[in-house]
Amino acid sequence: MSAITGVGAYAPRFRISADAFEEAWGQFHAAGVSQKAVPSADEDALTMAYEATTRALEAAGTDPTSVDWLGFASSRPPEAEEDLTARLGAMFALPESSTRQVFTGSTRAGTRALWAGLDALESDSTTGLVVAADAPKGDPDDAVDHAAGAGAAAFVLERGGPAEIVDRAEYAAPYPGTRFRATGDDETHALGVTQYDRQAFQETIGGAVDGLEGDPEPEAAAIQAPDGKLPYRAAGAAGVGTDEIRAAASVHELGDLGAASVPMSLATALSEGYESVLAVSHGSGAGADALLIEADADVPVATALEGEDPLSYAEYLRQRGIVTTGPPSGGGAYVSIPTWRRSIPLRYRLEAGRCSECGALSFPPEGACDDCNALAEYDPLELAGRGTIEAVTTISQGGAPPEFAEQQSQSGDYAAAIVALETAGGDETVSAPAMGTDAAPDDFAVGDRVETTIRRIYTQEGVTRYGFKIRPAGE
């Protein structure tokens, strides 16, 4: 039977409280949300998916090269038309022949991806990877935006394991207008007809749960959470109590996670050790999926959900790019897409090279060897993603190259460093330039230990470049 063998979850470090919204607007439209996660200027659904996937693979002890099915879900992918599983797969060196699918267009997309992953395992796949990442956005004075959070959850699926998915069902009925985003529109809207929205939510959730065999009595229930109140109003339709919903709820501290809402709550329930979990999504339109998960052993889970940096409302608008200026004109360094593509192995996976003449390491592995000056071939090897700062400076307003200026206007000053990146054994290092993230510039100093992650670097010609950045090393 198909099972979850590893779970990863991630939320950005920034938080804004309901009080900050109420102070700015005189009211707060997201009932039951005390605070929500806010992505930084260099984060989006793809980078959050990377964070969650890294943790899921590590938790499961799964070699990425064994993954033969990948599903990525988001109601707001960073590109409206692009197969982002190609980029996500390249970040982990997944086999180029692995099957990949993108799920979007609805907050139900996360469970749609899980559903498809289960179907793949029942046919010919052996290891599946499902990741849902989202960061909804609405008009600043709208209930959608007041609730909108950010986060990602990822699951490794195999044909047997500690948490088996024992039953599933779906239900759909036409309810247009409950939540929608027009083509070309950057913000999600809702008509806000309370009784109509509630009826759509309860009918579809109840219909999906009724399709399950038997009478589930879960210890925890992961229910779609557009705000912190609506899931509890569907308790009767889902056949559970409010305590079961509260046991898995992530909305109160992270906000509405869109397509990642139910996956994140499922990850939360499994991390708490619940042996029976009901997961029920809802997507406008309207439809719902219900999945019943039973665990007979602890599921390996790795999460990074703690918020460390509170934002004022003005800072929140700045991170969203609403109150910033555009980039200055001219003077930027142009890097063509073909040139950038050739550098993907080093930017995504820290692929260095060992000189075949003298054995010295080079990063990037191109041109003449820095040690022996030979124009020799390089033997590739991947660095470990950790190292020590050798030199560091702060780039302040006006000091950033034009291609970085727009992002800097959102995030503020950032650190630029030279880092001695280590090999897997830690016995050799090679120096590389890197930008800092996830911390203020003052948090980076010579001698500090750092680790790498993948974030947005800049956007040029409408195409976002992703690559590694550094942050203070975790314990």
Is the domain of 302 the same as that of 345? no
* Boundary (domain end) residue, out of 272, 291, 319: 319
* Boundary (domain end) residue, out of 319, 348, 380: 319
Is the domain of 428 the same as that of 298? no
Is the domain of 354 the same as that of 278? no
pLDDT tens figures, 190-212 = 888 889 999 999 999 999 999 99
**CA 133 to mean position of chain CA atoms:** 4
The most distant pair of C-alpha atoms in the chain lies apart, rounded to whole Å, by 74
SS3 of the chain: helix, strand, coil, percent, to 5: 30, 30, 40
Is the domain of 468 the same as that of 377? yes
Is the domain of 306 the same as that of 380? no
Residues in the chain with pLDDT values less than 70: 323-332, 398, 475
Helix (H, G, I), strand (E, B) or coil at 194: helix
Pairing of strands 309-310, 285-295: unpaired
Question: Both tokens of residue 40?
Answer: 């930084």
In degrees rounded to 5, what are phi and psi of residue 127?
-140, 120
Is the domain of 346 the same as that of 312? no
DSSP one-letter code for 112: H
Is the domain of 57 the same as that of 129? yes
Q: What is the pTM of this model?
A: 0.94
- Reference 108, options 285, 283, 289; nearest CA is 283
H helices of 320-459, in order, are 337-342, 344-349, 402-411
* Boundary (domain end) residue, out of 291, 319, 347: 319
pLDDT at 370 (0 to 100): 86
pLDDT tens figures, 88-99 = 999 999 999 999
Is the domain of 361 the same as that of 219? no
Domain count for the chain, please give it: 2
Is the domain of 371 the same as that of 264? no
The residue length of the chain stands at 475
Is the domain of 310 the same as that of 403? no
pLDDT at 327 (0 to 100): 53
Residue 377 lies in a domain: yes
Question: Both tokens of residue 195?
Answer: 């009784």
Pairing of strands 151-158, 3-10: antiparallel
Question: Both tokens of residue 386?
Answer: 């950790």
DSSP conformation letters of 255-288: -B-GGGHHHHHHHHHHHTT-SEEEEE--BTEEEE
Is the domain of 307 the same as that of 361? no
Is the domain of 304 the same as that of 376? no
Which CATH number is 266's domain given?
3.40.47.10
pLDDT at 192 (0 to 100): 82
Residue 81 lies in a domain: yes
CB 6 within 8 A of CB 57: yes
Residue 366 lies in a domain: yes
Residue 330 lies in a domain: no
Look up the domain containing 393 and give its range.
337-472
What is the Cα–Cα distance from 218 to 276, expressed in whole angstroms?
Answer: 5
Residue 329 lies in a domain: no
